Chain A
Amino acid sequence: MNDLSRQNVPSTNIETDVAIVGAGPIGLFAVFELGLIDLKCHLVDILDRPGGQCTELYPEKPIYDIPGIPYVTGQGLVDRLMEQIKPFKPEFHLGQMASGLSKLADGRWLLSTDAGVNIVAPVVVVAAGGGSFVPKRPPIAGIEAFEGKSVFYAVRKMDQFRGKNVLIAGGGDSALDWTLNLAPIAERLTLVHHRDGFRAAQHSVNRMRELVSDGKIDFHVASVKTLHGSDGVLEAVTLASPDKKEWRQQADALLPFFGLTIKLGPIADFGLNLNENLIPVDTAKFESPTPGIFAIGDINSYPGKLKLILSGFHEAALMAQAAFHVCRPNEKLRFQYTTSSSSLQKKLGVA
């Protein structure tokens, strides 16, 4: 690398061999395949723990089609993958979204996150599944205009709700936890849910019902129909009950808690020639039409693609071989088996 290209790299950058977008099962197994051939990885994921859909959507659900493992749960598979890649010491940047991708003068890529982490690597592997997990947005007309000012999908600073009329919508643990936490701070707190039943921890539900019977908060079986206000400042909402009765209620802030859904997010703007939200790849290298950018797992498409974890594992293995030649253009790659290679066994810490 020449000195000139070095100057283009801000000093806060992390330099590595491979930047992986997505720490789901396929991103994790990619660390293993890349690690065997001495390529170091950094992973970025919007969730605050590794595992992707496996741990976010179905941690307790069984998976029966992992070769050689007749039965494993989503969480169990991720735990085993984490153990398997431990020798390679991958570095995780969790709770942040991969937000930008650009090419540096020296040919390497700069992957940046919304938390200000910049990863410089010759190879970027997109293993992002269906995209980023983001909060579900209730289908209320014009809600976008209120987001960040009066409508919040997470609580960063409790104090911002002090003295406010707060409306919380939802019936899960987040809705109940924030109802209990914000009740003493808010001027008035109202919880609305579409039924008089909750999927939250029983002790939270009991505590909420106590607050209601003590007259400290309100609970309505209802949903939010309309937001009233201007310039993002909420003044009131129209609530509707299941039997279609509607009424207006004063509210300064609305906190909807309906869990997470998957949206493609900024990957759509990475210039990767997406087709129906998927990255087209070849089936020899699993490289996108942009050299140095690979895509594996549910995010890619090729003739015959099956969205199976086992297919993603295969894709990771072939990608790694191709990625090696991008990272080490002047080196030869020796093909070895973990069963017989003492050098691979040393890397795995077993020899």
Chain B
Amino acid sequence: MKITARDREGVEHAIEGNDGWTVMEALRDAGLPITAECGGACACATCHVYVEDGWYDKLMPPSPEETDMLDMALAVQPNSRLSCQIPVNATTDGIKVTLAPE
């Protein structure tokens, strides 16, 4: 499954994640600087990304838990998501995300 990830310097990276991973795990596997300090428990808001190019609306809406946790993220925008809550699968194949500032 393919993911395009733009880092905080604006450089785009074409990365791969396996079906069943989360986007956070794919970003971490690719060595991109995503903190994800709680390890994917939706408990820290340090895997915050912006979902680009219309992909936001193709995702399942955030859970109340994720919406709450996004309150602790910085520079939140309408297309903000926690990447640990975005699954890598056929629906999200090709998704484009930008790492939010830390």
Contact = CB atoms under 8 A, between A and B. Distances in A.
A242 B75 contact: no
Interface residues of A, number: 24
B102 interface: yes
B24 interface: no
A170 B71 contact: yes
A262 B101 contact: no
A61 B67 contact: no
A258 B75 CA distance: 10
Q: How large is the interface on B (under 10, 10 to 19, 20 to 34, 35 or more residues)?
A: 20 to 34
Given A53-B37, A57-B38, A259 B75 contact: no
B71 A130 contact: no
Interface in B64-87: 67-78
Interface in B35-82: 35, 37-38, 41, 43-46, 67-78
A261 interface: yes
A258 B43 contact: no
A171 B69 CA distance: 10
Contacts, number: 55
A53 B73 contact: no
A291 B49 CA distance: 42
Contact of A261 (B37, B67, B78): B37
Given A57-B43, A261-B46, A130 B37 contact: yes
A47 to B, nearest CB: 14
A61 B37 contact: no
Interface string A179-213: 00000000000000111011100000000000000
Q: Do most interface residues of chain B lie in helix, strand or loop, or is the interface mixed? A: loop
A78 to B, nearest CB: 15
B46 A199 contact: no
Given A57-B43, A61-B43, A199-B68, A139 B37 contact: no
A318 B22 CA distance: 35
A193 B45 CA distance: 16
Interface string A239-258: 00010000000000000001
B75 A223 contact: yes
A139 B101 contact: yes
A138 B75 contact: yes
A172 B41 contact: no
B73 A261 contact: no
Given A139-B75, A172-B72, A259 B45 contact: yes
Contacts of B67: 195, 197
A139 B74 contact: yes
Contacts of A258: 71-74
Interface string A46-71: 00000001000110010000000000
A304 B69 CA distance: 32
A223 B69 CA distance: 16
Contact of B37 (A193, A242, A262): A262
Contacts of B70: 194
Contacts of B78: 242
Given A57-B37, A242-B78, A261 B71 contact: no
A261 B76 contact: no
Contacts of B76: 194-195, 223
Contacts of B73: 258
B68 A261 contact: no
Given A58-B41, A58-B43, A130-B37, A259 B72 contact: yes
Contacts of B75: 138-139, 223
B77 A242 contact: yes
Interface string A28-59: 00000000000000000000000001000110
Given A136-B72, A171-B71, A261-B35, A57 B41 contact: yes
Interface of B: 35, 37-38, 41, 43-46, 67-78, 101-102
Q: Which 10 A-B pairs have the closest CB atoms?
A: A199-B68, A139-B101, A259-B72, A171-B71, A194-B76, A57-B38, A58-B43, A57-B43, A199-B71, A58-B41
